[in-house]
Amino acid sequence: MNIVKDHCKNFKRYGEKRSAPLDSIQVHSIGTTQNSAKAVRDSMDQYNPGGIVHAVVDAETDGLVLELLPDDNLAWADAGYGNQHSYTFEIAESDFMRYKNGGAEYEVTDEEKFLEDIRRGYRNAVDFAAQKCLQFGIQPTAKLPNGLYALYSHNEGRLAGVSSAHVDPEHVWSKIGKTMDDFRRDVEAAMKEQEEGAGEERYLVQAGAFRNKENAERLAEKLRAAGFEAFVKS
């Protein structure tokens, strides 16, 4: 993964540590028509943002994550449990959707490109969450005293009565047939792969070079379908 430190130092509580021990990871998706982690990061870098998280997972570029806050900083993510107890991250969504009426309903403006963004964001999030679970010693399916899993979504926090009334990220994952149970399973599998691959020498093979990014994405999807790890890099 390409994790880039790009801290939001304008945030009024930057450098303020959470008051409770870290026991979980909370997953969000941004809830705006945006696939760029950089654009999301820039919107959060203000004194009093509407919300801010520890990291943003990109949905435009394979493997890209921006770190916005130190790991031990309190978050401003869910108006509840996650701010003081959880490492929190957002997943960018897609440029090819349009939200309606200020809520969670949206329409898709380009089905193929929308699905590409959501799938890419999901894959990036799996790898990033696996890395963070290993770093913090968190088991995704362990249960917290409040009944939540140690790896949980904003929506699951809402249903448990400990987070604000948001339904992300499941409201976009449903379009690619994924749930939080799928995500936890995929993260556990990625954790195993990362542990087994730690310290191994790896070699990269370039499979093609294209002027058109869509052609590159199509080849990458074919390689993934065949069981290969593939990413697109400019």
Q: Mind listing the pLDDT tens digit for each residue in 117-133?
A: 999 999 999 999 999 99
What is the domain class of 2-202 according to CATH?
alpha beta
pLDDT band of 204, cuts 50, 70, 90: low
CA 39, distance to chain mean position in Å, is: 15
Task: Give start-end residues of each CATH 3.40.80.10 domain in the chain.
Answer: 2-202
- pLDDT tens per residue, range 86-111: 999 999 999 999 999 878 899 999 99
As a whole-number percent, the residues of the chain with pLDDT over 90 amount to 79
Task: Give per-residue burial for 156-178: e unless 16+ CB within 10 Å, then b.
Answer: bbbebebbeebbbbbbbbebeeb
Q: Which is it for the CA torsion 213, 219, 223, 228, positive or negative?
A: negative
